[in-house]
Chain A
């Protein structure tokens, strides 16, 4: 079984809709991350969490919110989706002692019409 799972894998929605992307990890890691990937732009950090009570904004947090429901679960929400949020979204986790190596999920392809 995959260590980091994401649901859904694909989602098509309309402008203005609220969307939630979910992530779970079975690696026992304390740190979790959400990234956005756009062609030619690499991976950009949206939010990250170092433990259940710790939430931090990344490079491109505007228009997004997150919830860390448990050590193993980290969800990303788009309160009112817009077309330029169409992208591939990745969840990742990393663990102690350094938390330097990240383990990525398979990604969620989101299309906002």
Chain B
């Protein structure tokens, strides 16, 4: 089955700095890669996703990149703000027989210091 590794487990930055979270996956058939943000006391919420036919996607201060050859994808947050502090999860899944059942990474706790 799919295996998703996520690093680092904890990331501490100063407000205004950039933050990068990296994930690797094992199943070359995976073709959908969402990122979820979990704020304290809440459930995870999708913040951005990327499909295997795209190498990069941006949405304001966040971006995701995908390297299919190396089987890794990354989340980039620029100009970090205290409200970006949360746990971030990457996931990988595939359609067809996989029916987009995601395998999640173990999460990254991002702390943005004012």
Contacts and interface: CB of A to CB of B under 8 A. Distances in A.
B46 A102 contact: yes
A42 B100 contact: no
Q: Is the interface of B mostly helix, strand, loop or mixed?
A: loop
A42 B107 contact: yes
A87 to B, nearest CB: 14
Interface residues of A, number: 23
Interface stretch (B37-45, B61-69, B71-79): B37-45
A98 B49 contact: no
A99 B102 CA distance: 11
Interface in B60-110: 89, 93, 95, 99-102, 104-107
A43 B99 contact: no
B101 A48 contact: yes
Q: Please tell me the size bucket of the interface on B.
A: 20 to 34
Contacts of A42: 6, 89, 104-107
Interface in B1-20: 6, 9
Contact of A100 (B32, B89, B107): B32
A105 B95 contact: no
Interface in A57-102: 58, 90, 92, 94, 98-102
Given A42-B104, A105-B43, 17 more contacts: A4-B43, A43-B104, A50-B99, A58-B101, A90-B43, A90-B44, A94-B100, A98-B32, A98-B95, A99-B100, A100-B49, A100-B100, A103-B46, A104-B45, A106-B41, A107-B41, A107-B43
Interface of B: 6, 9, 32, 34, 36, 41-46, 49, 89, 93, 95, 99-102, 104-107
